[in-house]
Structures are given as C-alpha cells and as structure tokens.
Chains A and B, each alone.
Chain A
Amino acid sequence: MLNLFKIATRNLRRYRRRTILTASLIVTGVIFVLVFVAVTGSFKTMMIGQVTDSFLGHIQIHSKGYVASIDSLPLTMNLRSQSVKKVEKALHEIPGIEAYSPRIKFGGMFSNFVETTNIRLNGVYPEKEIKTLPFFLSRIREGGKIIKKKGEILVPELLAKGMKVKVGDMVVVIATNKDGSVNGKQFRVGGILESATGPGGRDGYIHIEDAMEILRMDNMEVSEIAVRLKDFSRLHEAQNKLQDAFSSELNKKGKPIFEVHTWEKLSPFYNIARMIDLMTFFIKLMLVAIVLISIMNVMIMAVYERVREIGTIAAIGTLPGKILSMFVIEGFCLGFIGAVIGSIIGGAVIFIINIYGVTFDFGRQKGLILSTSVNPNDFIVVSVIVIIVSVLASLQPAFKASRMDPVQALRHI
C-alpha cells in the first residue's frame, strides 16, 4: 500500500503544474465553504441567541390553541393557577430545565396624558424573566436595570420615542379584562427597552402583580410560561419530555390542555435559519461539483497520458485491482492535499475575520459583532466530503485504466 502511495505522489509531482492548479481549485473551494459555514453558522447561532435569550425563551408552554390566536392575546385562553402548578411541577421534575418565567400577555392603551396609543404588555416576575432571558437586561437602554418594584413599566423604545416619554415620566395603562371590564393604572417609566426583531420584540413589561391588578385577576392566570434549557442542543428532547409529561392532561372533551412549542415554531427567524442551512447545503454541493469535475478531469488526463505505462505494468503482471488502486490513490492524495491545505488556510481566514471583527445590523439591532467560529466537526465533514468525492471521481478513470487491454495500451503512441 505504501508503494502505491509513493507512486501516486510521485506521479502528482511529475505533473506539478496540473497538480498545483487542481489542488488550488479544491483549496479555494474548501476555504470558501469553511468561511461561509463559519460566518453563516455564527450568524445563525447569534441570531437564535438574540431571539431566544432576549424575549422568546427556548420553549414556551401555553393553553392548547393559544399560539394559533396569539395575535389577539386572548385572556380567555390563559392557564389557570391549577394548570400553572402542574406545569411548574413538570418543569421541576424534568432534568435540563434551567429557568422558567410565567407571563401574562395582554393588549391595552398607553397614555402620556396628552396622547394615547395601543401597547402589548407582558406581566412578569422580573427575577424569573432575567434568569430565563439572559440578554433581557442588555435591552434596557435607559433607566434602571430591571423593573425594581411594582408600579414601574419598561416602555419599548419606538413607543417611547413616538409618545415622547422618558424615564421617570408617569403614564397610564388601560386594559380590558376577559369579562369586558375596563381598568387603568398609573405607572412610572422605569426604563426604555430596545426593540428586538420578532414577535414580542416590541412589547412593554410590567410586574406580574400589576398585570393582575389591571386585569382584575383574583387568582393568577398566565398566558405562557417561557422556559430556558441548560443545554440548547437538547431542545427537541426537552420538548418531547414536556409533551410526554402533559400527555395525560386532557380537558372534558378529551383534548390536551397544554401545547409545548420550541422557539422554532414561534419565531419567523426559524425560516431564515432554514434558508441559511439550505444555502450551506448548496454551497457544499458546489464544493462537491468543483472537486468532482476537477479530479475527474485530471484523472482522465492522467490515464490518457499514461496509456503506455498502464500497458507496461499490466504486461509485467500487475493485477487490475492494483492498477485501479494506483489511480484511486492518486485522486485520494489530490483530495487529501486540497482538504488539508484548504482547512488550514480556511481556519486562518476565520481567525483573521475574528481579529478584525465583522459588524452587521439585524432588524433594529445595530452594530452586532459577528464572532465567527467553526465547529471542528465542520472541518472534518468538509474534508471527508472532499476526500470521498475525490475517490469517487477517480473511480471511473481508474476502472478504465484497470480494464485496459495491454496489447492496445502498449501500441498507444
């Protein structure tokens, strides 16, 4: 086997210029794919982090049917306190749950005593919300770091700008409860909240007990429970466990009481993430095409140019299998060289991108710094793809060489 490698590498050195050109093409492809995977992968990871850690959470639990009518924030579909207890019990029993935050979501009117507009509000326990959404605090641009006490409101920045309210101003929130009764409460603006892209990214926040007061709730009824996992990669496993835990919870009609959704179902960014995955797939497909065509081309040339040599080694008794191996190993070596050099340079390019830093805007979020990184598995996957395709591309010319009639081959000029 070592001798086959020796002959293959020497033949590659023999056609130095062609080998360098082909390897360069593969190297360029590998660099391009790795950098693309790093940039898009990091962008995706970062944006998923922004979406889940700023306002959505990894998983949300609602009453069955709530998500389908989420635009109207129906108070009639809130989880009753008994149901909330069941959910909390399950969340404590299932391993891998880091934190959760119950929310009362409702729509109301927001007034600065001069003008009035509509607002979507979340009533939350501040400390639970922060544990569930680690980026939440970073969204508060002005004012206190969190709703310090009851009677404070975090106003989304666009609304604050439009209504010309500042931290410390007094405002009124008016809302209708599920029975149709209207109630209002005065709040002090505790902070201005940066917008986040996606549903719920432009909501205001108040303390959950204030929400209960406005909505005249005697017992707490929550719209949703946002959940944060210890390990995000086990998202679907956690979803399944929660669904299993709630599978026996049925209403009088025998239908499930709860619904469990991951962020993927709740955020339109999931479709962008899917698009990124699709683009990555097509970029990898392009790499496959580059490697396939370049290796096949170079191996066909190699076989054509070495017909007499093939005839000679066949004549002196080299078995067809060994002739096949000789050319396949040549293709393998080309692919291996391209994959290794491409991975090294690709890694270096990613490192340089990180040194200089790439900033970008996403929705209303400006100046996000992209920290590119590649999973070591991506290096392995891209290299393995290149090497396998190189071997496959060499097979046809190698097979042709191994089946060559030595008499014809020795006559070849």
Chain B
Amino acid sequence: MSLIKAEDISKDYQAGEISIKALRDVSFEIEPSSFVSFVGPSGSGKTTLLNLIGCLDKPTQGRLRVAETDVSTLNQKQSASFRGKHIGFIFQDFNLMPVLTVYENIEYPLIMVQEIPVQERKRRIMSLLEAVGMDEQKDKYPGQISGGQKQRVAVARALVTNPELVIADEPTANLDRKTAYMVIDLMKKMRDELKTTFIFSTHDPKIVDEAEIVYTLEDGELTGREAKGGINDVKSI
C-alpha cells in the first residue's frame, strides 16, 4: 500500500488576470520508509508539490491520497489536524521558535498539537536529542546555536510526533557542504531507525545522490524518476 498516491494532480495560481500552471497532471506513488528527493530548477514546481503532499495546499485538479486519506477534501482545521498526526516538516530556514529553548522547540508539537503526557514527552525528546546529538544543547535558545545545529533540532522536532512522513523543502540550502551531508545522513539514519518516509527537495546535485528515489520536475511536469540501490525498480516516466 502506497503512503502517497498522486493521480493527475495540477495546481494553478492566479497572478492578477494571468493563470499560472505550477503543476500539470502529476502522478506518482511513494512507498512507506522511502527516502525520496524532488529535483528541478527554480520554478519547476518542487515547493508547490511538497506543499500539496504536506497538506499545506490543495490541488486544483486530480486526487491526492496521503496515509490513506484524500487530503484534497480536507478543510483548514482538518488539514491542520492531519498534518499534526501524520506529517513532520523541516524548513530551509529552520523556522525554530526563537523564544523557546532547543528542548521546548522539540516539545512544542507534543504539547500544542498532540497533547502527549509529560513523562512520554520527556522520553521521546531526550531520545531524539541524543539521536541528533543535541542533548547537551537542550537548554540553549536557537539564537545561541549554529545553523547545522538548528537544522538538527528541526529534524528532531519533525520526528517527535512519530509521523509517517517528513517533508523537507531545501533542508540543506542554508548549510555548508559538510553540515548539509551531516543533516542528510541524520535524516537517513532516522529513516532507518524509525521507518519514517522522508521527502525533500534540493538544487544540489551531490545531495541528490543521497536520495534513494529521485523525481525530476520541469515546468510543473514530472519528467523523470530514478531509483537507486535496488530500493525501487528503475522506470522511466
């Protein structure tokens, strides 16, 4: 059973009187525990597609099923609730709350979204802090740690709710090469340990090599799919 199934999804934006087709009839399936990357030049529709998969936006046409739910029919509140249960997010700019410590940032979704009891919260957070190597920085504020450390905290925050899917839009764009690899390795490690599906977008060809399945987007169309390491069969679209 696929975790994500997109059937001919399109997304149009209205810019004044001009209608822009950001995505055109895109279809794909992603299996659970995959490590998937969407690549393509700027304006190719990567972020739009990730927003649709992440239930932040709705397709103009087509059907999109995520975790056995037709997400194109959810309203604002249902979408928020669905994201809180099933999806974690990692952002290019880390987007940690500056007024919360590292520990509190990771704790935030457990309190505000899932309402997990305090003991269970502590157990999960400490386990993730150790996994991402930030346990000694737990009382620091985002302003007191480096970019790579922030992204590690963001990874922990995305995983703390035990989501089936983590979406990362350009997670390494603001990091140096070494730190970028560290973050990707961390994401892979977490996928291996937690069996969470990771979908990320990137410009960086070397980072792309780390993905097990690579989808290529051009002008809103899915133009290629490449699977590596025998995870999935290689097939052309």
Which chain A residues have a beta carbon within 8 Å of chain B's beta carbons?
A: 3, 7, 10-11, 13-14, 308-309, 311-320, 322, 403, 406-407, 410
Contacts and interface: CB of A to CB of B under 8 A. Distances in A.
A11 B57 CA distance: 29
A320 B77 contact: yes
A89 to B, nearest CB: 71
Contacts of A3: 111-112
A313 B96 CA distance: 9
Interface residues of B, number: 30
Contacts of A10: 99-100
B103 interface: no
A68 B222 CA distance: 96
B56 interface: yes
A316 B83 contact: yes
Given A313-B112, A316-B89, A316-B109, A14 B98 contact: yes
Contacts of B82: 317
Nearest to B52: A407
Contacts of B81: 317, 319
A407 B51 contact: yes
Nearest to B97: A309
Given A311-B95, A312-B95, A315-B83, 19 more contacts: A7-B100, A13-B99, A308-B93, A308-B95, A313-B108, A315-B54, A316-B88, A316-B89, A316-B108, A316-B109, A316-B113, A317-B80, A317-B85, A318-B80, A318-B113, A320-B77, A406-B56, A407-B56, A410-B56
Nearest to A9: B99
A326 B181 CA distance: 36
Contacts of A410: 56, 91, 95
B84 A318 contact: yes
B138 interface: no
Contacts of A14: 98-99
B76 interface: yes
Contact of A320 (B80, B91, B98): B80
Contacts of A317: 80-85, 87, 109, 113, 161
Contacts of B112: 3, 313, 318, 322
Contacts of B188: none
A315 B161 CA distance: 14
A350 B88 CA distance: 56
Contacts of A316: 83-84, 88-89, 108-109, 113, 157-158
B56 to A, nearest CB: 5
A323 to B, nearest CB: 9
Nearest to A406: B56
A210 to B, nearest CB: 83
Interface string B53-78: 01011000000000000000000110
25 contacts: A3-B112, A7-B99, A7-B100, A10-B99, A13-B99, A14-B99, A308-B93, A308-B95, A312-B91, A312-B95, A313-B97, A313-B108, A314-B80, A315-B89, A316-B88, A316-B108, A317-B80, A317-B82, A317-B83, A317-B161, A318-B80, A319-B113, A320-B76, A407-B51, A407-B56
Contacts of A322: 112
A136 B2 CA distance: 96
A166 B95 CA distance: 90
A10 B84 CA distance: 24
A73 B12 CA distance: 91
Nearest to B88: A316
A410 B88 CA distance: 15
Nearest 8 interchain pairs by C-beta: A317-B84, A10-B99, A312-B95, A317-B113, A317-B83, A406-B56, A3-B111, A407-B56
Interface string B102-143: 000000110111000000000000000000000000000000
Nearest to A314: B80
A71 to B, nearest CB: 72
